[in-house]
Amino acid sequence: MIKGKIHSIETFGTVDGPGIRYIVFLQGCPLRCKYCHNRDTWNKNGGTEKTAEEIVQDALKYKTYMEFSGGGITVSGGEATAQPEFLYEIFKLAKENGLTTCLDTSGCTKASDISDILDITDTVLLDLKHMIPEEAKNLAGIDINTAIDFARYLDEKNIPVWIRHVLVPGVTDSEENLNKMGEFVSTLNNVERFEILPYHTLGVHKWEELGLKYPLDGIPQAEDEDVKRAKDIIEKYGVEIYNKLD
Ligand code: SF4
């Protein structure tokens, strides 16, 4: 059995997918988000090695809580799809053992290239970085059209998705971006939840610990009123925003 590179594990996650979840954060990310709160995940050669069997066996210790709450296993990152064979093995074993599966991704991988994984994925958490291609490239190093196609693929296959968007003052909160976001998401029929995640600076220390300059130094955290404004713009498109202000 192949071994994957693991950054960390959270045994009792309550925000990354439905119910109580066992969350596996994989090591390695091809993106370069300026606000990355897990800067220590980027290096694909770091982390600790484990097999999918070790992961799922450990997750099964919490099966009662997961079943009771409608939860299961979530694989996040870094970027979970950057270790596709390993991700597939975790999900396959999870399903064989009666656990639901949730993939947390930026959508940077062509969906049809990982169709075997998506066939056994119950929910996708899709973090849409920015709807304007040049801005997405500049902010996160992603070709946003790949993520948009990823979202369309999930819709075609009727795989439930939670869309997420990090609201960064002066970076992702332009009317143009938020209008495009609302317009696009309103075309999808598989969205179970749309969350606006207010930008925070809790991950800055990880950059500092690595001796790196934080790229968004000086940008303020998003406040409740920023989220409210973004919510109002997006909801004009008939898309309901789920957030803690409600
Ligand atoms: S996708 Fe996530 S882990 Fe990767 S750079 Fe962006 S915020 Fe960091």
Distance (angstroms) between ligand 1 centre and the Cα of 38 equals 7
Cβ atoms < 10 Å from Cβ of 17: 27
Q: Is the CB of 18 under 6 A from ligand 1?
A: no
Report how far residue 166's alpha carbon sits from residue 169's, in angstroms, rounded to the nearest whole number.
Answer: 10
For residue 224, the model assigns a pLDDT of 95
Pocket test for ligand 1, best of 24, 34, 79 (most atoms within 8 A of CB): 79
Q: Is the CB of 76 under 6 A from ligand 1?
A: no
Q: Is the CB of 139 under 6 A from ligand 1?
A: no
Q: Is the CB of 41 under 6 A from ligand 1?
A: yes
Q: pLDDT tens, position by position, for the chain (246 residues)?
A: 899 999 999 999 999 999 999 999 999 999 999 999 999 999 999 999 999 999 999 999 999 999 999 999 999 999 999 999 999 999 999 999 999 999 999 999 999 999 999 999 999 999 999 999 999 999 999 999 999 999 999 999 999 999 999 999 999 999 999 999 999 999 999 999 999 999 999 999 999 999 999 999 999 999 999 999 999 999 999 999 997 544
Question: If you take atom 7 of ligand 1, which residue's CA is the nearest one?
Answer: 36
Question: If you take atom 6 of ligand 1, which residue's CA is the nearest one?
Answer: 33
Cβ atoms < 10 Å from Cβ of 53: 12
Q: Is the CB of 80 under 6 A from ligand 1?
A: no
For residue 176, the model assigns a pLDDT of 98
Question: β-pairing, 48-51 with 72-76?
Answer: unpaired
CATH classification (class only), 3-235: alpha beta
Give the single-character DSSP code of 44: T
- What backbone phi and psi angles, to 5 degrees, belong to 201? -115, 25
Q: Is the CB of 33 under 6 A from ligand 1?
A: yes
Strands of the sheet with 48-51, listed across from one edge = 48-51, 3-13, 21-26, 72-76, 100-105, 123-127, 161-167, 191-198
Distance (angstroms) between ligand 1 centre and the Cα of 64 equals 31
For residue 117, the model assigns a pLDDT of 98
Q: Which tens digit of pLDDT belongs to each residue from 139-189?
A: 999 999 999 999 999 999 999 999 999 999 999 999 999 999 999 999 999
Mean pLDDT of the chain: 96
Pocket test for ligand 1, best of 6, 7, 36 (most atoms within 8 A of CB): 36
E runs forming strands in the chain: 3-13, 21-26, 48-51, 72-76, 100-105, 123-127, 161-167, 191-198
Tell me the H-state helices in 70-194: 84-96, 115-118, 133-140, 144-156, 175-185
